Amino acid sequence: MSKNKVDSKTLKQQKRHRRQWITFLRMCRYGVNNFTRNAWLTVAATAITTITLFTIFLSLVAHNIVSDTVGNLRNSVSMSIYLKTDTSAEDAREVASEVEKLSSVVSVTIKTPEDARNEFIGDNKNDPDTLDATKEAKNKFFWTISIKVKDINDTAQLAALTEDNELVKENLDPSHPPSFAGTRRDSIQKIASAGDFAQKIGIIASVVFASISMLIIFNTIRMAIFNRREEIQMMKLIGAERSFIRGPFLVEAIVYGFFAALLATGIGVTLLMFAAPSLEASGLSATGTADLVTYYAGFVLIGMIIVGAIIGVISSLLATRRYLKL
């Protein structure tokens, strides 16, 4: 008797799960059918969602490219402190040691006047006049302390060292003041500013297009509810569950986001692949981003589908909550 009860309970659970699965499949089918009912509204909703996701994609890609570019420039630029030609090797090493103690400093290298002179001669070996002048000017070259820092915009510690440390002040070359990143620092700051500005514009554009797409999907779902009001009323009368009535509209909105994600990702990845060489030629570090996006294209697509689905679901929930009156 107990075994029969257990079997009966298991059978009821199986039937309930089967009904739930069939209901889910029906909701999906109805939702897909709704997607194809009104072609113009479907195209409008899908198009604006595609633009939204494409804008989000471009914003993220642009931010990554600018970050890589600024990072590469920062790594290639070293700040310099110039010491007098007659500074002793011991004092030069002591100055370098003081610089290396700063928390903002990553690494320090020393170039002797002789090294600087040999380097200059090597760079100008095809210019006899310059080489002759160099032989005459034996005191032209000086000690150079080259410094790599964590943040090229943070030179406060270096400035304080050159102003307050007696050993450093005593050996500084008065004709060559410290060069904290030189002329390239302005370029880096401009690129960083442009990157921040582009990121803000991208965020604003993404929010604007997301709002517009949500509004269009909202109106699309609202019109679908209006067109099916008699059918919805009949479903209410026969006791259909809320989830069954609301489900197809959620599925319809998710389908908008799904197709929009496919289009936006395809367009975005293709454009990035073709544009990467031109961006590299113009000085922007785009290859790394292009390789990353291409290698993880599947994850990018999944992320875009999730974002598109979220936009669609929020719009659909707002519309069904307001107009279905469940």
What is the band of 159 on the pLDDT scale with cuts at 50, 70, 90?
confident
Q: How many CA atoms lie within 13 A of 123 on its CB side?
A: 7
Q: Confirm if 249 and 231 have CB atoms less than 8 A apart.
A: no
Q: Is the pLDDT of residue 85 over 80?
A: yes
Domains in the chain, start-ordered, CATH in brackets? Answer: 26-72+187-323 (no CATH), 78-181 (3.30.70.3040)
User: Mean of the pLDDT values across residues 141-149?
Assistant: 84
CA 225 to chain centre: 38
pTM for the model = 0.66
Instruction: Return the pLDDT at 2.
Output: 54
User: Mean of the pLDDT values across residues 201-207?
Assistant: 76
Among 96-105, 142-151, 189-198, the least confident range: 189-198
Instruction: Return the pLDDT at 270.
Output: 92
How close are the terminal C-alpha atoms of the chain, in Å? 43
Q: Is the pLDDT of residue 169 over 80?
A: yes
Instruction: Return the pLDDT at 244.
Output: 72
Instruction: Return the pLDDT at 129.
Output: 59
What is the band of 29 on the pLDDT scale with cuts at 50, 70, 90?
confident
Q: How many CA atoms lie within 13 A of 178 on its CB side?
A: 21
79 forms beta bridges with: 147
Q: Is the pLDDT of residue 61 over 70?
A: yes
What is the band of 191 on the pLDDT scale with cuts at 50, 70, 90?
low
Q: Is 235 exposed, middle or buried (0-12, 13-18, 19+ CB in 10 A)?
A: middle
The bridge status of strand 79-83 relative to strand 105-111 is: unpaired
What is the band of 185 on the pLDDT scale with cuts at 50, 70, 90?
low
Instruction: Return the pLDDT at 266.
Output: 92
Comparing 127 with 37, which gets the higher pLDDT? 37
Q: What is the pLDDT of residues 245-304, one digit of tens each?
A: 777 778 888 888 889 899 999 999 999 999 888 888 887 788 888 888 888 888 999 999
The rounded mean pLDDT for the chain is 77
Q: Confirm if 38 and 223 have CB atoms less than 8 A apart.
A: yes
Residue 252: C-alpha distances to residues 24, 101, 133 (Å) = 13, 62, 80
Determine what percent of the chain is predicted with pLDDT higher than 70. 74
Instruction: Return the pLDDT at 14.
Output: 72
**Residue 166: strand, helix, or coil:** helix
Q: Is the pLDDT of residue 186 over 70?
A: no
Q: Is the pLDDT of residue 157 over 70?
A: yes
Measured from the Cβ of residue 12, the count of other Cβ atoms closer than 10 Å reads 10
Q: Confirm if 59 and 199 have CB atoms less than 8 A apart.
A: yes
Q: What is the pLDDT of residues 101-140, one digit of tens each?
A: 888 888 888 888 888 777 767 766 666 655 555 555 554 6
Greatest pairwise CA separation for the chain in angstroms: 114
Query: What percent of the chain is helix, strand and coil (3-state, nearest 5)?
Result: 75, 5, 15
Comparing 181 with 288, which gets the higher pLDDT? 288
